[in-house]
Structures are given as structure tokens and as C-alpha cells.
Chain A
Amino acid sequence: MLRFAEGIGRGVVRGVEEVGFAGALFAESLFWAFAGPARRQPVRLPAVFAQMMQIGIEALPIATVLAATIGMMLAIQSLYSLGLFGAESFATIGIALSVVREFAPLIIGILIAGRSGSALAARFSTMTINQEVDALRVIGISPVRFLVAPSLFAMMIMVPVLTMWANIVALTAAGLMVTASLEISLAAYHADVLAALSVNDLAHGLGKSVLFAAVVALVSAVNGALADGGAEGVGRRTTRAVVHSIAAIIMVDMIFAFVVTSG
């Protein structure tokens, strides 16, 4: 029993330490972004652009497929469930709000956690184990400025961009189902969508996506920095990074929704 309690206690302490570490990485990344140029040690823009390509542009095909599928699935479910009450005409409002406020940021967040978060965690873990991070430090290069900050900023830029793209694709795909089912024109559907949405709804979804991006980048960086134990350690840390990222995204989503809607 005592050993069980000790195990829980250790886990909690380790979790708090890792959250603190992630906070420190975020603060140091901001420090280098603002103070780096004055110290002739800027965050390297080519590295940020390279990461933006990997995280954003190269993810466009799979993001498009997922967003279209989610849009169609939402349309089918909305038309069916509202049809039970003879209220199919309200489906557009439900779809528009669900996609923009919830589904697009959540799906893109989970996609980025699985695709880019795992790649980042594997890369950072390998670099830690191969002493490349130590090499950066002895050369006098901050690993946070050189590795973490470019990935963090690239994610915080590209995840909202992907989310915006997913909004457009999902709503268009849903529109194909809705227009066919309700026998209305696509222009009328788009007009309904625009009438249903406000700038607040858009800001809600995009704001969340920025938080999800930061969560994925920081969780991956923390796991990469704490890696040990060779190839097995890389695999363990990568899996852990993906699982923790997705769990953190869902929790942040709930907290964000609670805070924003209760305010």
C-alpha cells in the first residue's frame, strides 16, 4: 500500500516537473525570439520556414482528406438526428458552429500531434541520446533557441493556418451533403453558414488551435530532452509524446471551452 502511494506521489511530482519544464521552454523560446537579435543570436528564420513546410504544407493532403471526411460525417449525423424532429433546415447552423468552434481545431490538433509531434519527439530524443544537444551547449548555442523555438513558432503559425483550411474544406464537404439532401443551392448554404457564424466563433476555434500547437511542440520537446536508453528510449519517448499531446489537447480544449463560455 505504501509502495503504491509512493508510486502515485512520484508520478505526480514527475508530472509537475515536466509541466514546469515545458513552461520554462516556452518562456525561454519567447526570450530568444525577442532578445536574441540584440544578442546576435536570433531564432533562425530558415529553420522556422523549414519547420513550417514540414508541419504545415506537407500535412495539407491528409488534413484535407480528414477535414472533408469530418464535414461529411457531421452533415450526415446532423441531417439524421434533426430529421427525427423535422428540423433538418437547422442542420447548417449546427454544422457551422461545430466545425469552426470544435471539430476543425481538434482534428488538426490530433493530426499534428500524431504526425509532427512524433517526428519532433523522435528527432529531439535521437539528438539527446547522440549527444548532439550536448554538442550544441558546448559550442555555446542554446538548444532551446536552435531546436525548440523554431519548431514551437512554426507550429503556432501553421496549426491555425491548417485549422482555417480545415474549416473551409469541412464546411464545403458538409455543404455538398446538405445541398443534396435539402435540395437548396450551394450559394444558399454558404449564406446560411456565414449568417450562423460570428467572428467570435472563428476566434474561438483559431485561438484553441494556437494553444494546441504550443502544447504539442512543448510536450514533444520535453519528452525529447528527457530521452535516454538508446533506440528503445527514442521509441518510448515518441509514443509518450503522442499520447500525452493528445490527452493534453483534449484537456486544454475542455478548459478553454469552459473558461470562454462561462466568461
Chain B
Amino acid sequence: MTDRSDTRASEHLQTQAAAAPVVEVENLQAHYGERQVLHDIGLTVSPGEIMVIMGGSGSGKSTLLRHLVGLTRPTAGRVELLGLDITRARAMEMMRLRRKLGVAFQGGALFSSMTVLENVMLPLQEHTQLDRKTMEIMARLKLEVVNLAEAEAMMPAELSGGMLKRAAVARAIVMDPALLFFDEPSAGLDPVVSSALDDLILKLRDAMNMTIVVVTHELESAFKIADRITVLDQGRILLVDDVAGVRRSENPRIQNLLNRRSEETEVDARSYLRRLTGEAPLAPVLHSEDSGVS
């Protein structure tokens, strides 16, 4: 499976390198209040590529995703999706673009008052003039793709974590989008379900020729599905490379991430005491390499 994926990845990289990028980000900056959380982010994603955005907690990857899908406007910089600059696009242009995008949220974000089938049908109801029967057939086809056909009449509250994520994927792909975003697809899932979801992502790329951007902190998953990986740390891009390149990187912060090591911080006894008594700010948190804290 890995060999096949590697071959696919290199094919994609070679054949799509010259094509216009599906995602193009330039000098993206974002702030929460006074605090800058993204610093001059720049990246491109080529057609048919799976780009994994990876980083630890607080690295800014979820914030970056919100900017990529147009949920948050950046302080500065440009985000272009399928040729449209979404930082300057008008509402109707965004509306048309949204029909070509799919987003699978971390918690599924299914509408709790609707059945699984109704959730998957919703984009069709809102954006097409199809009759109800046709929409039901199309929604069931997508549920088949994610192996969730038996759950169409269930309510979201009745689904397991893995089923929720698969239902969210079915809703995200029901309009056959050119570009698909995943937010932490493996988070909270057991290894078997997580691996099945990775296979599904690869299947979507291979069978439906989608361009896919995945935000995750799961190394195993990232290495399995990625054509290229963007490593984020403290709101900055450390590296953009293929899986082998990331593994080879000698950057200590990347090595820490790969080896699941937390940052070692030199703290003298006096400043540690000042933190405990509240005289100094608590961050950075004191960790030791062998503390098991990540």
C-alpha cells in the first residue's frame, strides 16, 4: 500500500508540478487581538495533490485551515482557491466557489436535527434544482463510498466517532468538489478506524481526482497519505517537503515533533519559583524530555 501510494505521489508531483496550483497562499498573517498567530505563511497545493499541514498543539494549523476555507479573514496576505482570491472575493463569487469546495470538520459538525441522509443531501438541496428522488440517490451513493449506507436513517447523536467523521466526508463530497479539506480526520479514533479513514482519503484522491488538504497532528496518518507535508510551528512554516524530506530534516523542532519529544526548556530554580507564586507568567510550561508530557 505504501509503495503504491509513494508511486502515486511521485506521479502526482511530476505531472502536476507545471499545472496551476489549486491553493495558493502568499504572505498570510493572522492575529487574535494583539497576538500574531500566523507569520507570513506561503504555500501552494497542486491539482490532485494531498497536502498535509502538520504541527503540534498551538502551532496555528487549525487557524490556517479556517483562513484557507474562508471562515476567517486574514490581517494581511492572499489566499487563492481554484483561481479566486478569497480575501477579496465578493459574496456571490464566494457562494459559487463554495460549491466546488468540501470541508470535513473535526467533530463532523453534522446538523443534529437532521438524519444522516438529510445532512448529506443538504448541499444538493441548496445548490441544485434536482428532484428529491435524484438527490436521495446521489446522497446514498456518497454514503456507499464512505461505507455508511446502513446509517442513512440514523440521527448524528446515534453515530460513533468514526461514523460521524465518515458521514461528514459524505456530506463534504456530495457536490463532487475539486478541493477537499479535512480537519484532524484521525483525532479521537482508534488505529483501525483511523487507518480506514486514511484509506478513504487516498481513495477519494485516486478515484475522484480531488485535491486534498489535511490538517493533522497524527504522524502515522500524515506519512501514509501525504504527497507533501507542511510543518507548522508557532505560526510559522518550518518546512514544506515530501514525506522522505520531512523524515530527513535535521531541524531540531521537526525532529522533536517526529520523535514526540516536547520542547526542553532550561529553567532556573528562582524563575521556576516566581512562576509558581504567580509573579511571572506560567508559559513556557516546564517539561522534561522524559516526563511523558507532550
A40 surroundings in chain B (CB, below 8 A): 129
Q: B155 within 8 Å of A by Cβ?
A: no
Q: B69 within 8 Å of A by Cβ?
A: yes
B103 surroundings in chain A (CB, below 8 A): 135, 138
Overall SS of chain B's interface:
loop
Q: B267 within 8 Å of A by Cβ?
A: no
| A28 shortest CB reach to chain B, Å | 11
Contact: B109 with A140, CB < 8 Å? no
Contact: A131 with B127, CB < 8 Å? no
In the bound complex, CA of A135 to CA of B98 (Å): 11
Q: A17 within 8 Å of B by Cβ?
A: no
With A134-B71, A134-B105 known as contacts, the answer to whether A140 contacts B112 (CB < 8 A) is no
Q: Which residue of B is nearest A50, CB measured?
A: B113
- Which listed residue, B98, B106, B129, touches A140 by the CB 8 Å rule? B98
Within A91-142, which residues are at the interface with B (CB < 8 Å)?
126-127, 130-132, 134-135, 137-141
Contact: B126 with A139, CB < 8 Å? yes
Q: A41 within 8 Å of B by Cβ?
A: yes
- Which listed residue, A130, A134, A137, A140, touches B123 by the CB 8 Å rule? A140
A139 surroundings in chain B (CB, below 8 A): 98, 122-123, 126, 171
Contact: B107 with A131, CB < 8 Å? yes
Contact: B126 with A41, CB < 8 Å? yes
| B138 shortest CB reach to chain A, Å | 15
B98 surroundings in chain A (CB, below 8 A): 138-140
Q: Which residue of B is nearest A40, CB measured?
A: B129
Q: Which residue of B is nearest A41, CB measured?
A: B126
| A24 shortest CB reach to chain B, Å | 14
Interface size on A, residues (CB 8 A): 14
With A139-B123, A139-B126, A141-B126 known as contacts, the answer to whether A134 contacts B99 (CB < 8 A) is no
Contact: B111 with A132, CB < 8 Å? yes
- Which listed residue, B94, B95, B109, touches A135 by the CB 8 Å rule? B109
How would residues 67 to 85 of chain B score, 1 for a CB under 8 Å from any chain A CB and 0 otherwise? Answer: 0011100000000000000
With A139-B98, A140-B98 known as contacts, the answer to whether A131 contacts B126 (CB < 8 A) is no
Within A186-223, which residues are at the interface with B (CB < 8 Å)?
none
In the bound complex, CA of A135 to CA of B108 (Å): 9
| B288 shortest CB reach to chain A, Å | 31
In the bound complex, CA of A126 to CA of B157 (Å): 13
How would residues 26 to 66 of chain A score, 1 for a CB under 8 Å from any chain B CB and 0 otherwise? Answer: 00000000000000110000000000000000000000000
In the bound complex, CA of A127 to CA of B105 (Å): 13
| B255 shortest CB reach to chain A, Å | 33
In the bound complex, CA of A40 to CA of B70 (Å): 22
Within B45-95, which residues are at the interface with A (CB < 8 Å)?
69-71, 94-95
| B225 shortest CB reach to chain A, Å | 21
B112 surroundings in chain A (CB, below 8 A): 126-127, 130, 132
In the bound complex, CA of A138 to CA of B71 (Å): 7
- Which listed residue, B71, B107, B126, touches A130 by the CB 8 Å rule? B107
Contact: B105 with A135, CB < 8 Å? yes
Q: Which residue of A is nearest B128, CB measured?
A: A40
Contact: A131 with B109, CB < 8 Å? yes
Contact: B126 with A140, CB < 8 Å? yes
Contact: B126 with A138, CB < 8 Å? no
Q: B101 within 8 Å of A by Cβ?
A: yes
| A25 shortest CB reach to chain B, Å | 16
Contact: A130 with B99, CB < 8 Å? no
In the bound complex, CA of A130 to CA of B168 (Å): 13
In the bound complex, CA of A223 to CA of B112 (Å): 20
Contact: B109 with A134, CB < 8 Å? yes
- Which listed residue, B71, B106, B122, touches A137 by the CB 8 Å rule? B71
| B118 shortest CB reach to chain A, Å | 12
In the bound complex, CA of A137 to CA of B112 (Å): 16
Q: Which residue of A is nearest B100, CB measured?
A: A140
A135 surroundings in chain B (CB, below 8 A): 103, 105, 109-111, 171
In the bound complex, CA of A131 to CA of B171 (Å): 14
| B122 shortest CB reach to chain A, Å | 7
B105 surroundings in chain A (CB, below 8 A): 131, 134-135
How would residues 138 to 153 of chain A score, 1 for a CB under 8 Å from any chain B CB and 0 otherwise? Answer: 1111000000000000
Give the interface of A toward B (CB within 8 A): 40-41, 126-127, 130-132, 134-135, 137-141
Given contacts A138-B103, A139-B171, 19 further A-B contacts (CB under 8 A): A127-B111, A127-B112, A130-B109, A130-B112, A131-B106, A131-B107, A132-B109, A132-B111, A132-B112, A134-B71, A134-B105, A135-B103, A135-B110, A138-B101, A139-B122, A140-B94, A140-B95, A140-B99, A140-B126
A-B CB contact pairs (8 Å), 22 listed: A41-B126, A126-B112, A127-B111, A130-B107, A132-B111, A132-B112, A134-B71, A134-B105, A135-B105, A135-B111, A135-B171, A137-B70, A137-B71, A138-B69, A138-B70, A138-B71, A138-B101, A139-B122, A139-B126, A140-B126, A140-B127, A141-B126
Ranked nearest first, the 5 interchain pairs of A and B with the lowest CB-CB distance are: A140-B98, A135-B109, A131-B109, A138-B103, A131-B105
